[in-house]
Structure 1
Amino acid sequence: MTALSSPATARNKDLILEVLRAHLPASGLVLEVASGAGEHAVHMAASLPGLTWQPSDPDSQALASIAAWRAQAGTVNLLAPLELDAARPDNWPVRSADAIVCINMIHISPWAATEGLFTGAGRLLPDEGVLVTYGPYLEDEVETAPSNLAFDTSLKSRNPAWGLRRRENVEALAARHGLALHARVAMPANNLSLVFRRSANMNGR
């Protein structure tokens, strides 16, 4: 097994951790959807020892990398990775979670994966449970950085189903599943951390 690494993860992991410290519960199970290589999972689990961290990904190479990072780190609150396809929320191998984290998936996947993410979050999370997403977005009243426009073009050239999503569309999707935007945190390199909170008073399940 090979533990894969990314320079971008080294740059953003502590900044994302600050957001998670502020918004995740002190204890409970955190489901990370689309964990990728697993570097974030290892770092977050080690830094947040009161939480049990459940990494997941649909890709076999990513799952092997997560397992390799886990074996190297020996972090007791980091669980073995699960195969999970965000676009198929009815088949998720997790029945409940106190919080959900999704880093850099929404723009590098078909819209069906984002729909599945919020469907699953609306079903798994308890009242006041949070879903935290991280990545670049388009916004109606915010000028898009040229680098993000170029990134969007590059993504769509690789796969027409990929691309930066409009924050307002994601927010509307969240509302349909009982989740409201609780915090918008500007991050370096024109990224955003969005914190959604589930409420029994919203239209959802």
Structure 2
Amino acid sequence: MTAKRSAPATERNREPIAEVLTRELPPQGRVLEIASGTGEHAVFFAERFPALHWQPTDPSDEALASIAAYRAEYAGDNLAAPLLLDAAAPASWPVEAADAILCINMVHISPWSATEGLFAGAAQILGSEGGPLILYGPYLEAGVETAPSNLEFDASLKARDPRWGLRDAAAVDAVAASHGFVRMARYGLPANNIMLVYRR
């Protein structure tokens, strides 16, 4: 039985996400991916951006095994072995520096402490050079009507774990600001998802 897992949404969202990354990522350097999940995004983006060194991470052993299985089939040399990383524990991150951080679909499927830890850790490893912290997923926004499908998704997440759920983008902005980050861009993407880009 293979360790590889599959997330159907990956094939639908990877191209729109890549379009934004083309605008926001540095031309070269190290990208730290937080909560890489199955590893499908990591392989796709490593291939799409060959000048960038891609570092996938996840707090789940099952996910790490899946990422490693996908990496074993990847022909390039810019995709690192996955590392165990819990965003909620920024003091123990196994990476000392990165030029950009990408976090896809974690903020709503984790306790709020993971979002707080994400920005705390990003402040440590991105330094003050203006490297981006890029988030993707569904969010609640003032003045923007929440799609019924997102409301249903939010209810289902909270039913699975009351600590989970769609976050208010303004609350994320506030946590970002407490660590010296400012939201520099917002991109609307398909299926009622958005990408938020923060820099120091």
Q: TM-score, normalised by structure 2?
A: 0.97
1:1-205 to 2 correspondence within 5 Å? 1-126=2-127, 127-198=129-200
User: Partner letter of residue 43 of structure 1?
Assistant: F
Q: CA deviation at 1:162?
A: 0.2
Counterpart contact for 1:26–1:50, Cα < 8 Å: yes
How far apart in 2 are the matches of 1:191 and 1:12?
9
How far apart in 2 are the matches of 1:178 and 1:64?
34
User: Partner letter of residue 30 of structure 1?
Assistant: V
1:202 maps to none
How far apart in 2 are the matches of 1:40 and 1:165?
22
How far apart in 2 are the matches of 1:111 and 1:42?
28
Q: TM-score, normalised by structure 1?
A: 0.95
Q: Deviations over 1:60-103 (max 9, x none)?
A: 00000000000011321000000000000000000111000000
Q: Which moved more, 1:85-94 or 1:140-149?
A: 140-149
SS at structure 1 position matched to 2:65: helix
Aligned residues: 198
Counterpart contact for 1:42–1:75, Cα < 8 Å: no
Q: CA deviation at 1:37?
A: 0.5
Q: What percentage of residue pairs aligned between the two structures are identical?
A: 60
Q: CA deviation at 1:171?
A: 0.5
How far apart in 2 are the matches of 1:104 and 1:97?
20
User: Partner letter of residue 28 of structure 1?
Assistant: G
Q: CA deviation at 1:3?
A: 1.5
User: Partner letter of residue 145 of structure 2?
Assistant: E
How far apart in 1 are the matches of 2:88 and 2:75?
30
1:201 maps to none
Q: Where does the alignment leave 5 or more consecutive residues of structure 1 unmatched?
A: 199-205
Q: Which runs of 4+ in 1 moved over 4 A?
A: none
SS at structure 1 position matched to 2:191: helix
How far apart in 2 are the matches of 1:100 and 1:133?
9
